[in-house]
Amino acid sequence: MDHTFVFIGGLHRSGTSLLTRCLAEHPQVSGFSDTGAIEDEGQHLQTVYHPANRHGGPGRFGFHDEAFLDESSPLVTPENRDTLIREWSPHWDMSRPVLLEKSPPNLIRTRFLQALFPEARQVAVIRHPIAVACATQKWSWTSYTSLVEHWLVCHERLEQDAVQLPHLHVVRYEDFVADPDARLADVFRYLGLEPRPSGLTVRDSINDGYFTRWAAHRWNPLKRYDTDRAAERFEERVARFGYSMREPARLSPAEVLVASAVEH
């Protein structure tokens, strides 16, 4: 059987697991489950390239040049493609035509994955940098300023790479949770599948708790310095993706990526 490989990427806590579970509910789709790996991520189920934790882990890996892979990598070989398929296949239902692999660093390895799997479809999930920073800090132990900068480094790399990707679809987390069936239908159509609603419960207010935590830092001088510095330094760059550091609850049309729902 000919298979369509689908690679899903997005920073930790961006909603990639939620989207992957929703897609895997489709009878023609197979994803990873009960693998024993962290979040059933394919990066931990292969031996070809290093997972994110070898480059600092959540909130850090994008600062390491070695984490970025593209078509120039010596790892792009037919043998490595075969190795990945061999190592991932036991975790897929190979009778299904569409096979999903999800890992956060796929976000900055789109051209690498395309070089190995030229006909693959890629999906990137983007979420508000404040929500990602607040949810990730417990693992990274870095400042909010550093976490938002990491968010920008990774997403701006995706923006640069997107012009060379014939198959990329971008999903903004906030749009997905606001209308999951509609956004899920968009992804199914992009994958050439008949849309069907998800049977999973999707909560649309999770960001609010992170925004409340961010605002509460104004009562702590050290934390307020950190959040104020992040807002001052990165407001304009974040705004290009439709987000705001100063008014977190405000979403606006993005100038890049999601603005055109990049899909070549």
The mean per-residue pLDDT over the stretch 169-175 comes to 95
Cβ distance 14 to 170 under 8 Å? no
Please state, as a whole number, how many other Cβ atoms lie within 10 Å of the Cβ of residue 159. 17
**Three-state secondary-structure class, residue 6:** strand
Q: Could you say which of 1.50.10.20, 3.30.450.20, 3.40.50.300, 3.40.309.10 is the CATH number of the domain covering 4-259?
A: 3.40.50.300
Residue pLDDT, tens place only, 135-165: 999 999 999 999 999 999 999 999 999 999 9
Reported as a single tens digit per residue, the pLDDT across 7-23 is 999 999 999 999 999 99
* Total-model pTM: 0.94
- The token duo for 18 is 């939620």
3-state SS track over 164-211: CCCCEEEEEHHHHHHCHHHHHHHHHHHCCCCCCCCCCCCCCCHHHHHH
The answer on pLDDT for 262 being more than 70 is no
Query: By C-alpha distance, which of 77, 97, 242, 262 is closest to 170?
Result: 262
Q: Could you give the angle at which helices 144-162 and 129-140 cross, rounded to 10 degrees?
A: 120
pLDDT at 67: 97
Distance CA 80, CA 57 (A): 23
Question: What pLDDT is recorded for position 264?
Answer: 45
**Average of pLDDT values for 115-131?**
97
The span from the CA of 83 to the CA of 67, in Å, is 20
The average pLDDT across 40-47 equals: 98
User: What is the rounded average pLDDT of the residues 68-80?
Assistant: 98
Cα–Cα dist 255/252, whole Å? 9
**86-98 pLDDT per residue, tens:** 999 999 999 999 9
Output DSSP code: residue 132. H
Q: Does 232 have pLDDT greater than 80?
A: yes
3-state helix, strand, coil split of the chain in percent (to 5) is 50, 10, 40
pLDDT computed for residue 107 by the predictor: 98
Domain ranges for the chain, please list them: 4-259
- Percentage of residues in the chain having pLDDT higher than 70: 97
Q: What is the torsional sign of CA 222, 133, 60, 151?
A: negative
Q: Given CA atoms 203, 205, 211, 216 in this order, what sign does their dihedral have?
A: negative
37: helix, strand or coil: coil
* Residue range 212-225, pLDDT digits in tens: 999 998 888 888 99
- pLDDT of 260 reads 47
Nearest to 136 by CA among 61, 205, 202, 64: 61
pLDDT score recorded for residue 258: 60
Residue 137 parent element (H or E): helix 129-140
Mean pLDDT of the chain: 94
Q: Which amino acid is at 28?
A: Q
Token reading at 245: 């550091």
| Alpha-carbon dihedral angle through residues 226, 227, 230, 231, given to the nearest 10 degrees | -150
Is pLDDT larger for residue 59 or for residue 256? 59
> Cα(123)–Cα(245) distance, rounded to whole angstroms?
25
Q: What local confidence, expressed as pLDDT, does residue 175 receive?
A: 93
